[in-house]
Structure 1
């Protein structure tokens, strides 16, 4: 089906109830539905938004087009959780129902101001000539619903920037409120701009964030700023960066700068831009502080302008599991949220040598599990672990000991997403000793050496692809496998 502009901008309020109920039922029965990842009830999910802890629970939103697996007029879908392990769905919290967000509720963030939860987001407005005007808007949570302020806090792009001016992330520091916004300069290069407010009502442009990356893609989306372990961290998603060896191989990238930010001049002294995830499907991450002060991250397990096999069933994408961030050895490290151990159910273990000739270690059953792999001894030049194995399919993990190169190969994982590029590799700083995998019906998240590197991907195997097996190129490896069936809530 070809989606016309009119179809993409059809609003949920204009859809007969019977039609939407049918779509809900079709999505519920569709293949590759996830068991423990956040996914849309229908349609397309993208950026996580408004991630915040407020009055004893976490609030999390995501951008949502309800009517199909395409980018159309966006809503914010609302979830809450006491522990980020189980979530309660509340449906659409923000709809495109004002002049300023008439063509979509775009990305943003949340903050508690005067003991009330405020969300700040970009409203997408189109004129009759289809000219885009971005507005930065605020909505406040009342006892019943979110109430939008009548006027934007920032009207249109600042002078010197194009219509691509969006995704505010807000925070409070030393008596003032700040916001970073992703922007595109008039010369078609990406950057981040900074605004400040004394009262969360009147906002003024302060400066462009000054970094060494003055010509690095044509647009920077989804900026985030925070302090962590004595460092300043800027996250952002540069679009239009060309591949460089094993770097920047996805259609758009997501990464960070680590260093020191001068909060008067907004000059940042930093190291290289480092990708957050080395897999195929990760974008638009957002962070928040946990109740106990930990810095947590959730990302979109998908990419813009990418086709997925689930599109044929009118749904697409999910969110990653929550991750805890730390700074270690001068880099961000991501670990699965420790509270997720509550989901662990039946445990199985296997231990022994893997040698040449593709010896099968254990006939694991089930598609949704957490797998811990400890490499006790490694005398091989390269070893292989195959997951979701059947006679025709497998998802291949391999590790080259000499190069410290870990590779995820989904060329035989079933139906393919995106283009024909099916391999991603990353070089580790330390010998590989530990692998942690979260496997769901149509995704895999891999944490290497307790979060030294992370690889995230969607995979679309057949239902009978359930096995696990190991082999080596030469030499032998002594493995210990621990597999937890993950409880569904």
Structure 2
């Protein structure tokens, strides 16, 4: 049931007596709760925020509306981890409700400076005519974990030429200067990103718009993230309003990147190549990256999308985050690999299979489950199609397959269980022209992340099967394929 505006913009303290307890009870009874992904205790999770390393721990926040599955009054919910795998709740990190974030503490980022963690975020305020006023606000965490919001915004107006869709600051430091990129919409209703500069994190100067080759590319860019990798400049962002084209842009909104020469902060010029979607699946948005103490560039994203209803909504919760991925650059393309720390989730038992399949589908002992990691290497011999069906039963299955005729990798969730956003299609695919394929699956109660050939492509999706749909089937169609697979249970 959709909430009224008044219900959506309540603080957690304004919950009715028993409202949260009843929500918790509903959540607890949901059979789609995840086993090893970050998910909200109640209500709605969306963008990852403030992803950083501080005081010997990883810090990760997420956008959280505690009282329901609408996009309502947003908080920053705070998690901490030593290893990026086991996350401990630190409760609410940033609460909204002050003048400059009266209607939500929206997305932002974090940066360590002089022993403190600085968190720059968008304060969402609405006036009595319900007109939006975005403010870029600062909160600071000290070494005791205490977070203090600054009284006044550090960027209090939207520059001329842009609408009130002006949000999601991403911080970085270069030399003696601090920079942030902000997602924006021009007054001609096209999306872009703008650059600000500061020498002290207090006073910010508007430098101007990032000069990219994308003059009319959707109506809004959310969650921009600029970084450098192997001496290249990378801009990740989430454009809204792109039209589907071939196998691309079939989700309601996209997330992707451009790569080129490092950003010239003086001219704001970013020379770059084509835009590439980061993920080929159904549910991936608003990624955020950080650099860890080993120098790795790590990314997490929201495993969901705005303006889509999900099957867990009636159960009082929605969404989760992806597993952390390490980004590397190879031949002008970002590769995404699951971080090696995730091997600690593996239970002792390991199931293995090696078999040549000829126009058949087979199951093997030990190859069932609802929360596991599966690595499968397949050599195409003569089969026209081969692949894996998982979370399968007589009536349900999710399928990852390779069609050797069309040279396409295909993820099909048309029979995955409870349907999601079917108007946007139930199949996602991408071109692929190698006869050896390594499929690395992380299957959870209601999701799958599939890394292809060590992160050359990734398919991320929510799926909502019955708990008893736990079969794994390997198949080859119209010919032969050689399968070698290993599986570890996570529960």
1:460 to 458, 464, 471: 464
Shift of 1:433: 2.1
Q: Return the alpha-carbon distance in structure 1 between the equivalents of residues 10 and 22 of structure 2.
A: 17
2:388 to 363, 385, 390: 385
Q: Confirm whether residue 357 of structure 1 aligns to residue 360 of structure 2.
A: yes
Q: Which residue of structure 1 aligns with residue 203 of structure 2?
A: 202
After TM superposition, list the pairs within 5 Å mapping 1:70-109 onto structure 2: 70-109=70-109
Q: Return the alpha-carbon distance in structure 1 between the equivalents of residues 252 and 436 of structure 2.
A: 28
- C-alpha deviations, 1:355-386, integer Å up to 9, x for none? 21323344623200000001145321211311
Q: Which residue of structure 2 aligns with residue 312 of structure 1?
A: 314
TM-score (norm 2): 0.97
Q: Return the alpha-carbon distance in structure 1 between the equivalents of residues 140 and 201 of structure 2.
A: 12
Q: Return the alpha-carbon distance in structure 2 between the equivalents of residues 122 and 403 of structure 1.
A: 45
Q: Return the alpha-carbon distance in structure 2 between the equivalents of residues 38 and 17 of structure 1.
A: 27
Q: Return the alpha-carbon distance in structure 2 between the equivalents of residues 144 and 325 of structure 1.
A: 29
Q: Which residue of structure 2 aligns with residue 216 of structure 1?
A: 217
Q: Confirm whether residue 322 of structure 1 aligns to residue 324 of structure 2.
A: yes
After TM superposition, list the pairs within 5 Å mapping 1:341-420 onto structure 2: 341-345=343-347, 346-362=349-365, 364-420=367-423
The worse-fitting range, judged by mean Cα deviation, of 367-376 and 121-130 is 367-376
Q: Return the alpha-carbon distance in structure 2 between the equivalents of residues 469 and 362 of structure 1.
A: 11
Q: Return the alpha-carbon distance in structure 2 between the equivalents of residues 450 and 404 of structure 1.
A: 19
Q: Which residue of structure 1 aligns with residue 9 of structure 2?
A: 9
* Unaligned ranges ≥5, structure 2: none
Q: Which residue of structure 2 aligns with residue 182 of structure 1?
A: 183
Shift of 1:404: 3.0
Q: Which residue of structure 2 aligns with residue 422 of structure 1?
A: 426
- C-alpha deviations, 1:43-74, integer Å up to 9, x for none? 00000000000111000000000011111110
SS at match of 1:425: strand
Shift of 1:300: 0.2
SS at match of 2:370: coil
1:449 to 443, 446, 453: 453
Q: Return the alpha-carbon distance in structure 2 between the equivalents of residues 378 and 67 of structure 1.
A: 53
Preserved contact between residue 62 and residue 78 of structure 1 (Cα < 8 Å): yes
Q: Confirm whether residue 475 of structure 1 aligns to residue 476 of structure 2.
A: no
Runs of 4+ in 1 over 6 A off after TM superposition: none
After TM superposition, list the pairs within 5 Å mapping 1:20-169 onto structure 2: 20-142=20-142, 143-169=144-170
TM-score (norm 1): 0.97
Q: Return the alpha-carbon distance in structure 2 between the equivalents of residues 9 and 338 of structure 1.
A: 40
Shift of 1:109: 0.1
Q: Return the alpha-carbon distance in structure 1 between the equivalents of residues 310 and 365 of structure 2.
A: 31
Q: Which residue of structure 2 aligns with residue 484 of structure 1?
A: 488
Q: Which residue of structure 2 aligns with residue 227 of structure 1?
A: 228
Q: Confirm whether residue 237 of structure 1 aligns to residue 244 of structure 2.
A: no
- C-alpha deviations, 1:305-353, integer Å up to 9, x for none? 0111001111100000000000012100000011101111121111101
Q: Return the alpha-carbon distance in structure 2 between the equivalents of residues 148 and 246 of structure 1.
A: 44
Shift of 1:144: 5.0
SS at match of 1:366: coil
Preserved contact between residue 43 and residue 67 of structure 2 (Cα < 8 Å): yes
Preserved contact between residue 154 and residue 204 of structure 2 (Cα < 8 Å): yes
- Counting matched residue pairs gives 487
User: RMSD over aligned Cα, in angstroms?
Assistant: 1.2
Preserved contact between residue 257 and residue 277 of structure 2 (Cα < 8 Å): yes
- C-alpha deviations, 1:241-265, integer Å up to 9, x for none? 0100110000000000000122211
Preserved contact between residue 404 and residue 431 of structure 1 (Cα < 8 Å): no
Q: Return the alpha-carbon distance in structure 2 between the equivalents of residues 17 and 115 of structure 1.
A: 41
> Quick one: structure 1 residues 367 and 48, their matched pair in 2 at CA, closer, same or farther if it must change by over 3 Å?
same
Preserved contact between residue 11 and residue 73 of structure 1 (Cα < 8 Å): yes
Preserved contact between residue 354 and residue 361 of structure 1 (Cα < 8 Å): no
Preserved contact between residue 100 and residue 135 of structure 1 (Cα < 8 Å): yes
